[in-house]
Amino acid sequence: MDRQSEQFLIDLLETASPSSREVDIQKKWLAYVKPFSDDIRTDSAGNAMGILNPGADFKIMLAGHCDEIGFIVSGIDEDGFVRIDKMGGISPKPAIGMKVRILGYAQNVVGVIGTNAEHFGGVKEELDISDLYIDCGAKTKEEMARYVRIGDLAVYKREPEKLLNNRLAGRGLDNRTGAFIIAEVLRRTAEKGTNVGVYAASTVNEETNLGGAYFAAAGIKPTCAIACDVTFATDHPDVDRRKHGEVSLGGGPVLAKGAPINNKINDDLLEAAAKRTGVPLQYELTPRATGTDADRIRYTSSGVPVALVSLPLRYMHAPAETVSLDDIDQEIELLTDMISHLTGAENLNPVEL
């Protein structure tokens, strides 16, 4: 990964983008892809799209959601403490003692999620989101209300950091890494050339309702689509790999297998690209649903053949998710090679007449 691309990734990760408030990150994403796109678009859901060959009949859609989990302000008590609820699948336990940034209607405000000292009994065994509060230093409800109101959002105040062995830790790698990957695939595909229409969609609302993907696919009407998301790495302590499978950081991108997935995209396109490039593949099972944008995309128009390519990620939905930059590079290489070899005459129907 070159320096410019890595800086773009860091810029995305440093930009707060809780579900329903993705405008700032979408503007940065569009500014990056515009120089090498034949067209850029947005829609009423807030999706951002970079396009190559918009006149082509065969259209492949790449979806990477740019929203992250967070908190939503549910109230302010009389002493100025901010009460919160979930925005997406955020867990209360990792939040204890963390710093957060409230994206207030008047201005951003830094606070800490309070924790009961061990001297006073410590943290409750059965912790619920309603037990959490944010302490911004305000003394009264009136003072806090000058900056924050009900419905404002908050994210962890946690910046991306490089770890050993080319690994990266930070907030919301799920799934700003996916938005980054599809932008880089678009850039490299533009350099190599392609026979098909390529629609890279930085989608919104995946963490809450998957609605962005539906809007984007309904507008594009793709021939096929690939969701680029993250999946659970199982190569850290206390994970039962017999139960949850074997997925490792540095082991390469992960292909999903199951009922939602079009086997021809996996077998004829993605695995063929892996053989050409030497990119190692890992696998996960999605028997009924993927839990990603792919689930909504496949139900648009007259039905869209989909696949899911995921980045291994440790500590899902925690304040410091962790990935391998090597896996990111390999996923970009895999998808770029696959798209560059499409002719536009591919038949993805499982049963051919």
**Short-list 345, 32, 285, 312, CA closest to 178:** 312
> What is the rounded CA–CA span in Å between residue 342 and residue 62?
14
Cβ-in-10-Å burial (0-12, 13-18, 19+) of 204 comes to buried
> What is the rounded CA–CA span in Å between residue 102 and residue 312?
29
CB 197 within 8 A of CB 210: no
Structure tokens at 214: 């539906």
Structure tokens at 205: 């609302």
Where helices occur in the chain by DSSP H, the ranges are 3-14, 23-33, 141-144, 173-192, 211-220, 241-244, 263-264, 271-277, 294-297, 325-340
What is the phi/psi pair of residue 187, to 5°?
A: -65, -50
Write down the catalytic residue from 22, 206, 284, 333. Answer: 206
CA angle centred on 208, ends 202 and 210, rounded to 5°: 50
Beta strand 197-203 pairing with 59-65: parallel
Cβ-in-10-Å burial (0-12, 13-18, 19+) of 292 comes to buried
CB 340 within 8 A of CB 265: no
Tell me the CB-side half-sphere exposure of residue 63, using CA atoms within 13 A. Answer: 34
Establish whether 206 is a catalytic residue: yes
Query: Does residue 175 have a cis bond before it (omega within 30 degrees)?
Result: yes
Question: CB count, 10 Å around CB of 89?
Answer: 12
Catalytic residues: 206
